[in-house]
Structure 1
Amino acid sequence: MKYKKVRWGIIGCGDVTEKKSGPAFHKVENSELVAVMRRTGELARDYAKRHHVQKWYDDADGLIHDPDVDAVYIATPPGSHKEYTLKAAAAGKPVYVEKPMARSAEECKEMVAACKEAGVPLYVAYYRRAQERFLKIKELLDQKAIGEVRFVSSTQYQKARDGVKNSDHLPWRVQPQIAGGGLFFDLASHTLDILDFLLGPIQEAKGFASNQAGYYEAEDIVTGTYQFQTGVHGIGKWCFTAFEDVDRNEIVGSKGKISFSTFGDDPVILTTSDGQQQWSFERPEHVHQPLVETIVKELTEGGNLCPSKGESGLRTNRVMDEIVGN
């Protein structure tokens, strides 16, 4: 089904929707945000008023079945992603779901199957796939700027945030029953997904996960190795109780390497025997907007335009499950 204009409803209008995603639905051509939902009605109404949204709800079913809502953006924590995706699919509404796609690969499989059966598209908010800096990296790889890719290395560690240090009110991101695991699931998912985009699917992954600091029950350190379908090898290290913050990825080939960060704004650096080149990119005001543009264009014009869908989101969850194990 093609839409002349995509009218969006948001389930879960929390912090991520204030600037990262919410305004994009108004700013993208042929797109409009018409309804929002939050369990606390007063907060939903406040959001609607501040963002000039026509309707607000305090229950998801009301928004999903609103005839003025064409597509549903699920911006809740992962613990409810499957539930709301299945409901939206049953109502015949396209779904755009936050990352990680769900708490496990098994939940993701159910979501993909439900949307396929209902005949509606399922998009996942790995928005880096549509941003200029990562499209530049893909262009360099496609141009064989570093020759044949041999391996990729990711190192990401950070200080323990004050909110998780022996707190009685832990953030949902370190509560496995809500998030699927700890900060690895929330943050490393971005890196693993962009590597899937740049280098193709990972066919096998192994790893170790531990809790070293004891601030919460979820893992706080993860190390993993993986092999891509192309034969490229990968290694990743993630620690969330280190002495400083580091975010570094390197894709190494037969003729050079590409260095970049997942979350930072530092330049993309190409190093070869001829020297170094680098490219800097300004972060989009609303980081979701480039990806939302591809979704709206696909829904209004047809084709296969969005680079982040249920199948790729499922692959990222599967890799995380394999690395963390039990």
Structure 2
Amino acid sequence: MHEWLDSYEARDWQTTGEGTVRYALVGLGWWTTDVALPAIEGSDLGETTVLVSGSAAKAERIASEHGVEHGTDYDGFHDGDHEGAYDAVYVGTPNATHLEFVESAAELGKPVICEKPMEATVERAERMVEACESAGVPLMVAYRMQTDPAVRRARELVESGFLGEPVSVYGNNSQPLLEMIPNEDQWRLDPDLTGYGTSVMDLGIYSINTTRFLLRRDPIAVQSRLSSVGEPFDDVPDERSSFLLALEDDVHMVSTASQNGYEDTRLQLTGTEGRIELRPAFHGECSLHLARDDRSVSIEHDAFGAEEEMREEFDYFADRVLTGAEIHPDGNHGLTDMRIVRAIHRAGERDASVRLRE
């Protein structure tokens, strides 16, 4: 088994160790303050210089607590407050509000890293891509799994033939949302803010995008079943979700996702010669489990949780901004995921297979 692992390089994407990208962080929910902000503080190539919230007082208070130079509100950001104090923008607001901040950042000529899913609908995500392309600024979608060392090692193994020919994929991503955030009025349960639904948009997208990254194959058709049985989920169609994706080269993928389940994340790829499993996969502390030739091995990354994943993501983005190198995953990559999610919801509504392309 060791011959498959000897050549691994943790930051195979890194091209520079010099320079600093100064960030404006837009949206000061718990993910930004508890994960993204400390991730940038621990990064090699980043610094937070501006915080942006719906409340200027909140932004200034959190800025003071973290030693950040400036705080402003959303209107101030749109008006260009402190634009000389930052080089790039991180957008971490609810899905349906991403577009307005990305458009303003593009008008200011600032590279953008935007949380996934890109927006509430495909059409609004397309407008984001158009705004950045018209302004000539980079847009990266924040798929942190793509810079996670375990995932990158898994892709190296796939490309080196560890699986043989890929055959099937199984994914799951579930969490008890209302235990984590005990508020039935939160935005993830509001269709005007979350978009097509809650479980596929927020959780299922991890299985979809990580599989696309690992196998370099996209879905061509989908089937799905979506249901909501608990009263807090009455306004969204997918408290529970399952979907079958037919990928290129006849690889079959089955995945489930739920915002009202025991926390469990996994992604398993099976080929003609071996198996690669990420377990846990998506909520930090990603671990790699390999099997081939009647032998198995597990690889863990000490103290590598969500904050460390975000640190890698921000350093990757900064590396690309500083060197002018091509960014992946870009907006068009994220648009593919949005179209897949839309197709999953349409398939559930119609109880029929939906083709993504002929």
**What is the TM-score when the length of structure 2 is the normalising length?**
0.82
Identity %: 24
> 1:258: how far off?
1.2
SS in 1 for 2:289: strand
**Residue equivalent to 1:170:** 185
Give, in whole Å, the separation in 2 of the partners of 1:84 and 1:220. Answer: 29
Give the residue type in structure 1 aligned to 2:293.
S
1:213-248 per-position Cα deviation (integer Å, ceiling 9, x unaligned): 232211211111112234322111223444x43322
Give, in whole Å, the separation in 2 of the partners of 1:65 and 1:204. Answer: 46
Q: Does residue 1:260 correspond to 2:281, yes or no?
A: no
Give, in whole Å, the separation in 2 of the partners of 1:139 and 1:30. Answer: 25
- Aligned match of 1:235 in 237, 244, 254? 254
1:121-160 per-position Cα deviation (integer Å, ceiling 9, x unaligned): 0011111100111111111111111211011011334456
Q: 1:223 to 1:15 in 2, by over 3 A?
A: same
Give, in whole Å, the separation in 2 of the partners of 1:276 and 1:293. Answer: 32
- Aligned match of 1:146 in 163, 166, 169? 163
Give, in whole Å, the separation in 2 of the partners of 1:229 and 1:46. Answer: 50
Give, in whole Å, the separation in 1 of the partners of 2:178 and 2:39. Answer: 29
1:36-78 per-position Cα deviation (integer Å, ceiling 9, x unaligned): 1111122111110111111110233145662222211111111
Equivalent pairs counted in the alignment come to 320
- Aligned match of 1:38 in 45, 49, 53? 53
**Residue equivalent to 1:187:** 203
**Residue equivalent to 1:250:** 268
SS in 2 for 1:20: helix
The root-mean-square deviation of aligned C-alpha atoms, in Å, is 2.2
Q: 1:111 to 1:276 in 2, by over 3 A?
A: same
**What is the TM-score when the length of structure 1 is the normalising length?**
0.90
**Residue equivalent to 2:84:** 67
SS in 2 for 1:36: strand
SS in 2 for 1:19: helix
Residue correspondence of structure 1 range 1-326 to structure 2 within 5 A: 5-59=20-74, 60-63=77-80, 66-159=83-176, 161-162=178-179, 169-180=184-195, 181-200=197-216, 201-216=218-233, 217-218=235-236, 219-242=238-261, 244-261=262-279, 262-263=281-282, 265=285, 267-282=287-302, 283-284=304-305, 285-304=307-326, 306-325=327-346
Q: 1:259 to 1:72 in 2, by over 3 A?
A: same
Give the residue type in structure 2 aligned to 1:295.
F
Q: 1:27 to 1:235 in 2, by over 3 A?
A: same
| Contact map agreement 1:157 1:239 (CA 8 A) in 2 | yes
Give, in whole Å, the separation in 1 of the partners of 2:320 and 2:64. Answer: 29
Instruction: Choose between structure 1 and 2: higher helix proportion.
Output: 2
Give, in whole Å, the separation in 1 of the partners of 2:141 and 2:60. Answer: 26
Question: Which stretch shifts more, 57-66 or 128-137?
Answer: 57-66
Give, in whole Å, the separation in 2 of the partners of 1:56 and 1:144. Answer: 50
Q: 1:303 to 1:240 in 2, by over 3 A?
A: closer
Give the residue type in structure 1 aligned to 2:192.
Q
> 1:4: how far off?
5.3
> 1:31: how far off?
2.8
Task: Structure 1 unaligned segments of length 5 or more: list them.
Answer: none
1:255-278 per-position Cα deviation (integer Å, ceiling 9, x unaligned): 121111322536311112332111
